[in-house]
Amino acid sequence: MAPVEAKPATFDPNLPARLHPQVALRPESFGALAYHFETRRLVFVKSLPLVDVLEDLEHHASAASAVAAHVAPDEVTAYVAALARLFDSGVVDGR
């Protein structure tokens, strides 16, 4: 088994990120349901643009640039904060 890198304790939007490979997103009218198959946690993603950001994370050099690609400048702070919460719940992962 490959050594597991310690997960950073806090979310850094300037680092590359991804949707955790054990997380599935199901589209819903309000956004999406995210389910983490390892922790069995269900998370409600309550914004359609946030779903776009999550799906696009791995194509960007940083989480911040993925956010910038999908939301208006005055909303970036709120979306980065949302990603930080999703990082804490294991939905978002570093890469």
**Which residues contact another protein (rule: CB under 8 A)?**
24, 26-30, 33, 35, 37, 40, 42, 44, 46
Report the half-sphere exposure of 91 (CA within 13 A, side-chain side).
23
To another protein, the closest distance from the beta carbon of 92 in angstroms equals: 18
Nearer to another protein, 10 or 29 (CB): 29
To another protein, the closest distance from the beta carbon of 37 in angstroms equals: 6
- Please name which of 22, 3, 5 lies closest in space to residue 94, comparing C-alpha atoms: 5
Nearer to another protein, 23 or 67 (CB): 23
Interaxial angle between packed helices 63-70 and 76-88, expressed in degrees from 0 to 180 and rounded to the nearest 10: 130
